Structure 1
């Protein structure tokens, strides 16, 4: 089920794991995981997943049940659903 949040500026946001393949988006927020004290959020931000950066899902593996191939800036990463669900985006 897709989750969309509406922000005061009128833009609908979703999470990276819900973004359709090949859709360009801008990162709005990186949320922290409750399980690790913010370590995953820090790691994602160190890799370039920062608010304002452009991002795109390039491919979904195993019909959406496996990792995602994601491009942020000029880098490409494989991400689990857990990581990609922490990244809130706004379609560009």
Structure 2
């Protein structure tokens, strides 16, 4: 698997969360509560017209994240054959 950052993703790309980069404890707890846990796969659904926020689909629901929220996610690419 290839390691990447959220800004590398485009609409339709899939990734798996591997951890968090420099996120404070409270901030990490908030992301975990939103379902952004290590091992979770998601797909980028769309970007807002100005590029922020971004909508992702995970665990059967859609979630909108600001780029600064998404920037702390450590990711690896996922390809579905």
TM > 0.5 fold call: yes
- TM-score, with normalisation over the residues of structure 1? 0.73
TM-score by length of 2: 0.81
- Residue matched to 1:91: 77
Give the aligned CA root-mean-square deviation in angstroms: 1.6
Corresponding residue for 2:60? 74
Which ranges in structure 2 are unaligned for 5 or more consecutive residues? Answer: none
Residue 7 of structure 2 is aligned with which of 17, 20, 40?
A: 17
Q: Which has the higher contact order (CA 8 A, sep 6+)?
A: 2
Q: Distance in 2 between matches of 1:16 and 1:73?
A: 18
Is 1:30 aligned with 2:20?
yes
Q: Which runs of 5+ in 1 are unaligned?
A: 1-10
Structure 1 residues 37-90: Cα deviation after superposition (integer angstroms, max 9, x where no partner) = 4211111111111111111111011242x2001112112111101111111111
